[in-house]
């Protein structure tokens, strides 16, 4: 069975989708068979938009599992939190459905990179959050952050809750694009590197530079 790694961001619009595709491509260049999966996609119809970005970065066409809906078991039209999108369509998000889809992918691929929606505590129903799902599954996490103002606070809060829930943080990916204030960016990167070395010594730190997506 392939290894599942969950990919989350410290917030929305931090570059989580780009980072997922980039990390998938990185594993592929190491000789691994890799697929990405979107736990829940909101704000689109048909094939999940984030998967289209992943495949473009991976430089591969849509896979049969994409066409079959296995890599995106839940897609909702309204661009909002999963729990609200499901409510608006009078549908229920069942964790068992996501589990089964992931298990199918694990049978074929060495790695399944499961991308969440937004941050770790985004709810997918009235009682459960993404973090609850990840904790139950026992997945390690890749946390995507950046140098934008406020990211130190958001990153440390995310790391703190993972530590509290005993969820291993596999890697922190530092998204350097789009470019921002260089003074803040450099200090944020240095601070996070030092923080991880002190408090999460087994967690890797990766920098993601510009990736052009059409």
Residue 45 annotated as part of some ligand binding site? no
Residue 26 designated active-site: no
Phi then psi dihedrals of residue 123, to 5 deg: -80, 145
Annotated catalytic residue within 25, 26, 38, 166: 38
Is 50 annotated for ligand binding? Answer: yes
Q: Which DSSP letter does residue 98 get? A: H
Is 14 annotated as ligand-binding? yes
Residue 15 counted as an annotated binding residue: yes
Q: Is 175 annotated as a binding residue?
A: yes
119 is in an annotated binding site: no
Under a CB-based contact definition with an 8 Å cutoff, are residues 106 and 70 in contact?
Answer: no
- Would you say 115 is a known binding-site residue? yes
CA–CA separation, 84 vs 150, rounded Å?
Answer: 26
Contact in structure between 93 and 99 (CB atoms under 8 Å)? no
118: annotated binding-site residue?
yes
C-alpha to C-alpha distance for 119 and 111, rounded to whole angstroms? 22
Long-range contacts of 85-94 (CB under 8 A, 24+ apart): 85/40, 85/42, 85/43, 86/124, 86/125, 92/125, 93/40, 93/124, 93/125
Binding site residue list? 13-18, 42, 50, 115-118, 175-176
Q: List active site positions.
A: 38
Binding site residue list for Mg(2+)? 17, 50, 115
Binding site residue list for substrate? 42
Binding site residue list for ATP? 13-18, 50, 115-118, 175-176
């Amino acid at each position: 069975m392939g290894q599942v790694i969950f990919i989350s961001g410290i917030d929305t619009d931090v570059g989580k989708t780009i980072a997922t595709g980039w990390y998938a491509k990185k594993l592929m260049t190491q000789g691994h068979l890799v697929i990405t999966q979107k736990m829940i996609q909101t704000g689109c119809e048909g094939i999940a938009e984030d998967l289209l970005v992943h495949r473009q970065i991976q430089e591969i066409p849509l896979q049969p599992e994409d066409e079959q809906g296995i890599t995106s078991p839940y897609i909702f039209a309204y661009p909002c939190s999963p729990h609200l999108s499901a409510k608006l369509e009078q549908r229920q998000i069942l964790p068992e459905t996501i589990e089964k889809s992931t298990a199918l992918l694990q049978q074929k691929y060495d790695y399944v990179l499961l991308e969440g929606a937004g941050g770790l505590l985004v709810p997918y129903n009235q009682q459960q959050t993404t973090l609850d799902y990840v904790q139950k599954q026992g997945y390690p996490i890749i946390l995507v952050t950046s140098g934008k103002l406020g990211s130190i606070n958001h990153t440390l809060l995310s790391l703190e809750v993972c530590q509290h829930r005993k969820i291993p943080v596999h890697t922190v990916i530092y998204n350097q694009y789009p470019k921002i204030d260089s003074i803040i960016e450099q200090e944020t990167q240095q601070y996070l590197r030092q923080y991880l070395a002190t408090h999460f010594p087994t967690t890797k730190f990766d920098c993601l530079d510009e990736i052009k997506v059409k």
